[in-house]
Structure 1
Amino acid sequence: MDEIIPDFTHETLALGRGAIRVVGVDEVGRGPLAGPVTACAVLLDAKRIPDGLRDSKVLTREKREDLYLRIIDVAEVSVAHASVEEIDSLNILRASHLAMERAVAGLKADHALIDGNMIPRGLGCDGTAIIGGDGLCLSIAAASIVAKVTRDRIMVDLAQQHPGYGWEANAGYPTKAHLEALQNLGVTPWHRRSFKPVHNILYQELSVSS
């Protein structure tokens, strides 16, 4: 099957409808048990689009790092987060939308192309939801790369503070090694207490101590 390569069609359509600052938006980190959820908005210059932009999930780490630097060099970029506390108090969907809203606000966009099937309610500008947008739309692909690289770096830093959970490799996702470390080492302040594996361990500890 031929590879689907993202293009500038959605941006061109929005610009043709009168938008001036059209950004692509993506988030990373809904599934992990630990760490923030990270969103990015990218405003590409149509004349300076880096070659090789793809959905971050299909790129190697080395290719993502290379493209990250090239995107930062030629585009307007805004990165934002929702904290573990916000994830636990709001729920992961609303927290990921909050991170997106913050990222978009950083670029004063008037139209946002959002990866997924929902437009965050506090976006502050017009928006278009694009299912599979990180594989179809160049601006969203760029946003997916910057968000992924940024969050991976955060988790590497946190892994140095809390060794043993493998965050430098698993980015907080529930791998076998991470789940075993949760059982053996316990819950850190960076774990999402509303997520079932973490909640269950806390409940076990509560039951044992009571």
Structure 2
Amino acid sequence: MAAAAPTLAWERELAAQGYAIVAGCDEVGRGSLAGPVSVGVVIIHAGTASEIPGVKDSKLLRPAVREALVPAIVDWAAASAVGHSSAQEIDAIGLVGALRLAGNRAMAEAAATLSPDFVILDGNQDWLSEPVQGDLDLFAANVAPAAAQPWLTQTRIKADMTCLSVAAASVLAKVERDGMMTGLARQFPSFGWESNMGYGTVSHRAAIAEQGPTDYHRKTWRLI
């Protein structure tokens, strides 16, 4: 049985609670061996936005369908953006810190057009909020509480499957990151990034073992 399409049910519930401007936020590339982590943000007027057909979690859509949806999502959203954090940044500050950096880059760009009241973050870990202290190790260990933000952030498990704004954000992030990896694949054809998108396939790991990592690999990770 096919999964039910995401809806605006929770976004509309938030609007009824007084959160008129809602952002959906999702990441891609977390488990990749190469390339950036990328975070998509889609901001909507939650009480008045209409459903947009065809949008699902990006993993459930064929590449051509995802790409065709991007213009419709950008037109539908009141504001949107994708932020990235490079492999070097992941190595320097860790994955959680890099996710936060990419997410805040995306939020800063989107919020410059329209600032949200509430952010729906896919998953069960708030990697987006700033820690009170600039200690990324404490943040990664969930020791430091989140600092005040101009919006309320709440995690929601499987939000990319149930919340339309989050699913739309996942599509934007996936398409933009896949485009980056496909472009890099032309410079480094041995690694198959045009198909594996930097993830740890057998052939990708074999190419790393034979040729060594590039500057786009996460060198602190177990690559082989």
TM-score bracket, shorter-length normalisation: 0.7 to 0.9
TM-score, with normalisation over the residues of structure 1? 0.88
**Corresponding residue for residue 70 of structure 2:** 68
**Corresponding residue for residue 100 of structure 1:** 103
Q: Of the candidates 179, 198, 201, which is equivalent to residue 153 of structure 1? A: 179
**Corresponding residue for residue 163 of structure 1:** 189
State the one-letter code of the partner of 1:50: I
CA distance in 1, matches of 2:71, 2:80: 11
Count of residue correspondences: 198
CA distance in 2, matches of 1:89, 1:169: 27
CA distance in 2, matches of 1:73, 1:15: 21
> Within 5 Å, which residues of 2 pair with 1:179-190?
179-190=205-216
**How many percent of aligned residue pairs carry the same amino acid?**
39
**Poorly superposed stretches of 4+, deviation over 6 Å:** none
State the one-letter code of the partner of 1:143: A
> Within 5 Å, which residues of 2 pair with 1:5-16?
5-16=5-16
> Within 5 Å, which residues of 2 pair with 1:29-178?
29-44=29-44, 46-75=48-77, 76-106=79-109, 107=111, 108-119=115-126, 120-122=128-130, 124=149, 125-178=151-204
- Where 1:164 maps in the other structure, the secondary structure is helix
Measure how far apart 1:104 and its partner are. 1.9
Measure how far apart 1:48 and its partner are. 4.6
RMSD: 1.7
2:199 aligned with 1:196: no
CA distance in 2, matches of 1:113, 1:197: 32
Unaligned runs of 5+ in 1: 199-210
CA distance in 1, matches of 2:183, 2:51: 30
- Larger mean CA deviation between 43-52 and 100-109 belongs to 43-52
Measure how far apart 1:187 and its partner are. 1.1
